[in-house]
Amino acid sequence: MTIQKLSEDMLTDSEARLRGILETAVDAIITIDERGIVEPFNPASERIFGYAAHEVIGRNVNMLMPPLYSEAHDSYIANYLKTGVKKIIGIGREVIGQCKDGSTFPMHLSVSEVRLGERRLFTGIVRDLTEQKNLEKQVLQTERLATIGKMAAKVAHEIRNPLSSISLNAELLEDEIGGYDSANTAEAKTLLKAMIAEIDRVTALTEEYLQFSRLPEAQLAKGNLNQAIEEIVIFLRHELAQKKIELECHLQNMLPEVRFDRVQIRRALLNIIRNAIDAMPKGGKLKIETEKKDNKAVIHIEDTGLGIPVDEIEKIFEPFFTTKDFGTGLGLAIVQQIVAEHGGEIFCKSKIGSGTTFSIIIPIKRGE
Amino acid sequence: MQNKSILIVDDEASIRESLQKVLSKAGYLTVTASSGDEALALLSTQSVDIVLSDLKMPNGDGIELLKNVKKKFADIEVILLTGYGTIETAVEAMKAGAYDFITKPPKKAAVLSAVERALERQNLAQENKYLKAQLGKSVDFTDMIGSSPAFRKMLDMIDRLAPCFQRF
């Protein structure tokens, strides 16, 4: 065997290994030249960015970045080649990537530099951080909710004690005045009635705070979601008719049973439906649908109400966010908490002037 | 309801005073205590029919007081007041022997009706106890005049049937 043959064999061997790594890596591995032109684009890159390799190879890598980053990218390379100051090479940092469909995602990028004779190549390893970020966000949200819950409980409790004597004293005063029926006491009686009504309102508010803070763990039992929805619909029929809201129900017949807490799901649906009713002050249409999608049971609640502005839609599940005059801002936060307790998810789509749809997704456990 | 006495236990003076006014206006005698310990000390020197206590107090909570009251003064009915009525605490309180459970802020009507119902039950229990004691007194037919077999048989039957009527 000649030395040349041996070195050729070694090269093929090392190439095969390299290809193996590129093809099986979980992370996207993308190599670019000095001009930013993409050379190899491994299968993980295809999966993460949604492009086929041939759509990217030979084009500038900035097609994988949102506009703001892509504009800066060329100058980064140029700057590095000129000054040798490393901003990312060998360090790695978090940046934003852009998929074929235009959606963006957080990613960790580390770049290494390879010199091939006169050529300088840069290899970027991209790790998709979407899941990690979501998890972090969830943990943060859970912690936040727990803190808010504790605070709400403390505040509500502290308010309920003084409220007790205020409430009883107001009633005693009412009795007191009640004994003297004259024109002079009429005004006093009206004022007292207003006070007692406000006391009742504060009581109801603290009730909701406490409910939020002490939402008990869901007691999951196998059951029929459609049936639970029908019960609520019967309960609300009168109210809907009164508010001139037409009801349309499409409950899928073959919806498999799921494990859920009847009381809590009922409360969640009631909260959403009450919001829908409030969003249709002049009447409208409320549509409730259920369907089986993949291995999940989905409930859609659609109204033809005012709709939620784009800048508010992100905040609707945040505790204490409210647009109502007398709301606690806890209704949807409670709904989200309940859905999460069921291992499910909730989504909201809305369009100003045409209405809002909430979709609750509850997993159907395997074998059920 | 006259002369029935109610012990109000709450660490907050303003609540004690309001409850006291509500109950005394309704014709009850009232005493107050600001803690479970104070309440127990009072109960050993004074006769009380109903205890109306806060569930959460800095020195010993209402459940503890409830258990002590039930142990030492079984006839006294206890009503608990709570800042928030969770099913768990309600069940715990009922298991420990509370008669009723009122959430704060209480309505006057809720307090009065809970007290009335507790007194009613106490009344029934006392009556029941009295009747049982009456029935328990053995009636001896041996001195009864008459010795015909039929009469003796009837007396025997009365003797055997008597316990069945205790429940009425």
Closest CA in chain B for residue A167 = B105
Whether the CB-CB separation of A356 and A307 falls below 8 Å is answered with yes
pLDDT digits (tens, 9 = 90+) for B85-97: 666 777 788 888 8
Give the number of beta-carbon pairs within 8 Å between A and B. Answer: 63
Q: Which domains does chain A have, with CATH numbers?
A: 3-128 (3.30.450.20), 133-213 (1.10.287), 221-363 (3.30.565.10)
Whether the CB-CB separation of A161 and B12 falls below 8 Å is answered with yes
- Distance (Å) from the alpha carbon of B156 to chain A's nearest alpha carbon: 58
Q: Which of A68, A74, A63, A65 lies closest to A34, judged by CA? A: A74
Residues of A with CB under 8 A from a CB of B: 153, 156-157, 160-169, 171-172, 175, 199, 203, 207, 210, 214, 216
CA distances for A176 relative to A169, B22, B104, angstroms = 10, 11, 22
Residue A161 has its nearest CB partner, among B12, B19, B87, at B12
Question: What per-residue string of b and e applies to B42-60 under the rule 16 or more CB within 10 Å gives b?
Answer: bbeeeebbbbbbbbbbeee
Using a cut of 0.95, tell me whether the model's pTM lies above it: no
Task: Grade residue A360 by pLDDT with cuts at 50, 70 and 90.
Answer: very high
Question: What per-residue string of b and e applies to A89-115 under the rule 16 or more CB within 10 Å gives b?
Answer: beeeeebebbeeeeeebbbbbbbeeee
- B19 touching A (Cβ < 8 Å): yes
Residue B106 has its nearest CB partner, among A157, A168, A216, at A168
Mean pLDDT of chain A: 86
Q: Which of A196, A200, A161, A164 lies closest to A177, judged by CA? A: A196
Angle separating helix axes B62-72 and B87-95, nearest 10 degrees: 20
Looking at beta carbons, which residues of chain B come within 8 Å of A215? none
Q: What is the mean pLDDT of residues A41-45?
A: 91
The secondary structure element, H or E, covering residue A257 is: none
Q: Which of A333, A331, A302, A338 lies closest to A317, judged by CA? A: A333
- B112 touching A (Cβ < 8 Å): no
A25 pLDDT more than 50: yes
pLDDT of residue B25: 92
- B117 touching A (Cβ < 8 Å): no
Closest CA in chain A for residue B22 = A172
pLDDT of residue A126: 92
Q: B15 and A216 in contact by Cβ < 8 A?
A: no
B164 pLDDT more than 60: no
Residue B105 has its nearest CB partner, among A167, A175, A210, at A167
- Distance (Å) from the alpha carbon of A199 to chain B's nearest alpha carbon: 9
Burial of A187 (C-beta count, 10 Å sphere; 0-12/13-18/19+): exposed
Amino acid at A350: S
Whether the CB-CB separation of B39 and B11 falls below 8 Å is answered with no
Q: B54 vs A140, which has greater pLDDT?
A: B54
Q: Which of A60-69, A129-138, A320-329 has the lowest mean pLDDT?
A: A320-329
Q: A111 vs A179, which has greater pLDDT?
A: A111
B142 pLDDT more than 70: no
